[in-house]
Amino acid sequence: MAEPISISVGGNSHWGIAIVDNEMNSDTSDDIALSNDVELRFAGSTVLDSGVEVGVRIEIEGEQSGDQGDETYMYLEGSFGIIRVGNDDPASYAMGTAAPYATYFYGINTPYWVGSFSGPNSNWHTTFAGTSVGDSASVMYFSPVINGFQFGVSYAPEAGAEARSGTADRAKGNDVVAAGARYDGAFGEAGVTVAGGYASHDMEGGPTVTDTALGVVVSMSGVSVGGSYMVTDPDTDGVDDLEQYDVGISYGEGPWTISLNYGEKNQDSAGTDNTYARLLGNYNLGPGINLAGALGQDTLASDENTSFAGIAMAISF
């Protein structure tokens, strides 16, 4: 007989501090920036007599937030793959990859700490297709992994009309259709990851915005090299495509990992011409405990450039 689902509790507490030299107006920039990301995760599963695993996952922000609930979904997993229903990032985002980073803290292409020190959230840099959609109420399917290859598709219906969910409005518009594919394998002694994604977002009362992304990472003997690229087509007359990419090289030995990373964000019609450079380091102090450091330089078309040095502590449990 299958056992009842029991819930385990996990999460993370991430905190960092940086000294920032920002050429923007001093009233809108920080000399010292304190950043944080705190979450609680509740997860549980059981295996039915049929061999199908049934599970749930609920994430809650560990501090006051306009988006207090995060990824919250149920799933079925078996030889057929994974079926997931709930609030989660689209398949194009979930299956993506980016340049290798020693740490995501103060990185270029990072899930932590929205935006850069160089200005508002418009300076957010990402090469993961469908990032802007957020954790929308969705139906998702991921195939089994066959010889290192897996694909996934997802659909988020129109918020407030077809999706009777209090969190569906995070789609910020109408239907979102996404697909992703990923290969994790090896050629000789080199490990290889290749990932691609596509997301189509039907904006309410407006155009259909699409993201197309591709990433490649090759690793051998502790060295990883790679990058990723995404183009966003706003489907609007007089508005150019938005192009973003990142590249990097990292090296890890024992508890230490270091990386050198570079990225760009360009859109001619918006006057966007941003470059980002990072030297990152991470030291593993113990299970789930990491100390990270970063040196960074952001350069904008407005010449409001930013340099910073920061450290961060990450505790995962």
Chain center to CA of 249: 19
Distance CA 106, CA 31 (A): 15
Over residues 213-222, mean pLDDT: 97
Rounded to two decimals, the pTM is 0.90
State the DSSP H helix or E strand holding residue 94, giving kind and residue range, or none if neither.
helix 91-94
Distances (CA, A) of 195 to 107, 154, 214, 302: 20, 16, 6, 33
pLDDT by residue (tens digit) across 110-142? 876 655 666 554 557 899 998 888 788 899 999
Predicted pLDDT of residue 172: 56
What would you measure as the largest C-alpha separation in the chain, in angstroms? 66
User: Three-state SS for 147?
Assistant: coil
CB 85 within 8 A of CB 74: yes
Predicted pLDDT of residue 160: 64
Tell me the pLDDT band of 227, cut-offs 50, 70 and 90: very high
What is the residue-wise DSSP string for 188-215?
Answer: TTEEEEEEEEEEEEE-TTS-EEEEEEEE
Q: Is the pLDDT of residue 218 over 60?
A: yes
